[in-house]
Amino acid sequence: MTMPEAASGKSSGDHGGVRSVQRAVEILALLSEDRPVVTVGEIVKETGLAKTTVVRMLATLGKNGLVWTTSAGVTAGPGLWRWAYLARRSWELPAEIRHLMRETGQKTRETINLYVTRDLQRVCIAQQQGTQTLRHVVQVGDQLPLWAGASSKVLLSDAPTSTLERVAAMSPQGAERLPDLREAVGRAREDGFAVSHGEREIGVSAVAVPVIAPSGRVGAALSLSGPTARFTDERVAVFVDELISASAQMTARGFTHPFEA
């Protein structure tokens, strides 16, 4: 017998509320540095929402200061400043760490990223783009899977078997990925660094080393990534040395982040 929604503690209003939040996020996501203003028509076309729904959502967002409606269209509202300030205080790295990343990126000329784990994903929390025309770029805030990539192997160094099993299950190979994943993670833990070639994206390689948190566990993965053609054995050895040097200084400073337990 199916329980009535009221009796089960769930209601259509609950689901509607979740949908409303998702719709609001989709609307805000249309705004970017390159596109600071969008029209109602563009929102309707790109979200697939009815115009009446869009107008109602914009009214709610505007009431809370999250968007402003101007003669040109909809733009970010001043209410977002408070959240941006909170995010910056939580996520902005100390000047010394940003300087280290910038310096390492300039020396190697490759893109340098800092990743931390979030559940079964890795999140890019800082980046310094490479100086070469052809380069690999992951945006700050991007969430990537843990079943592939040099940074993933480093981040999983302290993970129990149960976590590795869950990560492997999310890969294209499913549970069959577990033996290779366990071996790669073990090698990264033993060597103190990890390398990947085309594991997540064909033609892209990466090198990563751990940044140790005050708890003694791996707090982050510092990595360099770029076209596989440039990641020869000789260059990888140079990259590892540069990354280890930068990571040691970050570790000595006392690296922490909001996701650390």
Q: What is the pLDDT of residue 84?
A: 76
**Is the pLDDT confidence value at 185 over 90?**
yes
User: If you average pLDDT over residues 160-167, what whole number do you get?
Assistant: 94
pLDDT in tens, 10-28: 444 455 568 888 999 999 9
pLDDT in tens, 115-140: 999 889 999 988 888 888 777 777 78
Q: What is the pTM of this model?
A: 0.68
pLDDT in tens, 244-253: 999 999 888 8
User: If you average pLDDT over residues 235-258, what whole number do you get?
Assistant: 88
pLDDT in tens, 76-96: 998 888 887 676 666 667 777
Q: How confident is the model at residue 45 (pLDDT cuts 50, 70, 90)?
A: very high
Q: List 79's β-bridge partners, or say none.
A: none
User: If you average pLDDT over residues 191-195, what whole number do you get?
Assistant: 96
Domains (ranges, CATH) in the chain?
Answer: 11-82 (1.10.10.10), 92-253 (3.30.450.40)
Dihedral sign for Cα 149, 33, 134, 209, please: negative
101-115, 124-138, 173-187 — which is least confidently predicted?
Answer: 124-138
Q: What is the pLDDT of residue 8?
A: 43
Q: What is the pLDDT of residue 210?
A: 96
